[in-house]
Amino acid sequence: MLDKCLEILDRALDTPLFAVDCTLGLGGHSRAFLQKFPSLFLVGIDKDEEALKIAEKKVGGSGRAALVHDSFANLASIVSSFGKSPDFIFADLGLSSLQIDKPERGFSYMASGKLDMRMDKSSPLSAKEVINSWDQKELERVFKSCQEPRSRFLAGKIAEERKKGEIATTGRLAEILDANTPFKERLQTKKRVFQAVRMEVNGEKAALESLLDAALAVSHPGSVIMVESYHSGEDRIVKNFFSAGICPKVPPKFPIEPEPYFEDLTGGALKAGGEETEKNSRSHSVRLRAVKVLSASERVKNLRL
Ligand SMILES: C[S@@+](CC[C@H](N)C(=O)[O-])C[C@H]1O[C@@H](n2cnc3c(N)ncnc32)[C@H](O)[C@@H]1O
């Protein structure tokens, strides 16, 4: 989707000077943004210090990037410390390949490692604590958040198993899920449960909501906000936030007829093409949405009181 992102930015912006990559990861998108726009200064945010160290090598040497270890939920205060409004704000949600591929980070059900799942290793809550000490009802709620149809049953099985001994590795959690799931459904069950626990551990939905609110608040007329998501729940949050500005709805007989404050740059969600999905299986689920913030005059021109 990188090419599509660059194409959209190129079409929507003349000469972007200041941008924020909210999910720096290994710096792939940031590096491409800096190459595409030679006058750009970019702030790259990531919760993961390991990712920041790798990205530093890719974009740090440009002299046109500042890397920040923080959550993108704090976008407003991060941007205000630079004293400028971004021409574009980008987020590529979820995990980086570094996080998925390292068993010791505890995200993977494919290779066993410590049950961790923290993007930010300094944060207090790990998957081990959620799985071993959260109430069975809470576990059920977490699993349900990723549409796991057997949430109650699996939460019960985990509660039973942990009485026998701490569930300390991703391998052990995967084993419990497999032992209590019909063979054909095992992969999907592990995917859903691991994703649900990871999203809970990292507070991903709440962070995304804060990011979107902050992105609009720090934007200026003409700014672009662009988000890639890999999970239907996240994409729904982005879709609803963007739709509210593309086509604002008010109750019947409301005295104000609001004007759109976003222009839709992607016509809904863009998906990865066949060639990309063949090369990268993760891109199957990606949804790219982008909007341009309309000018203040466009936003208010048709208000009638
Ligand atoms: C899909 S990767 C980004 C990959 C990146 N676009 C690249 O080209 O290498 C997502 C990154 O976002 C980071 N991340 C996820 N949630 C975050 C949050 N709330 N605040 C800051 N970084 C976050 C993860 O640590 C991960 O490194």
CATH architecture, domain defined by 2-98+205-300: 3-Layer(aba) Sandwich (3.40)
Among 264, 268, 260, which Cα is nearest to 235's? 268
Report how far ligand 1's centroid is from the alpha carbon of 22 (Å): 7
- Paired tokens of 94: 């979820």
Report how far ligand 1's centroid is from the alpha carbon of 94 (Å): 6
pLDDT at 258: 83
pLDDT at 291: 98
Long-range pairs, 99-103, Cβ under 8 A, ≥24: 99/48, 99/51, 103/170
Among 95, 36, 80, 27, which Cα is nearest to 56's? 27
Residue 34 to residue 59: CA distance in whole angstroms:
8
pLDDT tens-digit profile, the chain (305 residues): 999 999 999 999 999 999 999 999 999 999 999 999 999 999 999 999 999 999 999 998 889 999 999 999 999 999 999 999 999 999 999 999 999 999 999 999 999 999 999 999 999 999 999 999 999 999 999 999 999 999 999 999 999 999 999 999 999 999 999 999 999 999 999 999 999 999 999 999 999 999 999 999 999 999 999 999 999 999 999 999 999 999 988 888 888 888 899 999 999 999 987 777 777 766 788 999 999 999 765 555 444 43
Q: What phi, psi does 87 have (nearest 5°)?
A: -80, -30
Torsion of CA 28, 30, 35, 41, to 10 degrees: -160
Query: In ligand 1, which atom is closest to the CA atom of 32?
Result: 8
Which amino acid appears at position 61 of this protein? G
Domain locations in the chain?
Answer: 2-98+205-300, 124-201
- Check if 71 has its Cβ closer than 6 Å to any atom of ligand 1: yes
Q: First vs last Cα of the chain: how many Å apart?
A: 43
pLDDT at 203: 97
Nearest CA to ligand 1 atom 2: 96
Query: In ligand 1, which atom is closest to the CA atom of 91?
Result: 6
Long-range pairs, 262-266, Cβ under 8 A, ≥24: 262/225, 262/291, 262/292, 262/293, 262/294, 263/291, 263/292, 263/294, 264/291, 265/8, 265/11, 265/12, 265/224, 265/226, 265/290, 265/291, 265/292, 266/8, 266/290
- Check if 119 has its Cβ closer than 6 Å to any atom of ligand 1: yes
pLDDT at 139: 98
CATH architecture, domain defined by 124-201: Orthogonal Bundle (1.10)
pLDDT at 283: 74
pLDDT at 297: 58
Report how far ligand 1's centroid is from the alpha carbon of 44 (Å): 10
- Check if 25 has its Cβ closer than 6 Å to any atom of ligand 1: yes
Report how far ligand 1's centroid is from the alpha carbon of 68 (Å): 12
Nearest CA to ligand 1 atom 22: 46
Query: In ligand 1, which atom is closest to the CA atom of 90?
Result: 6
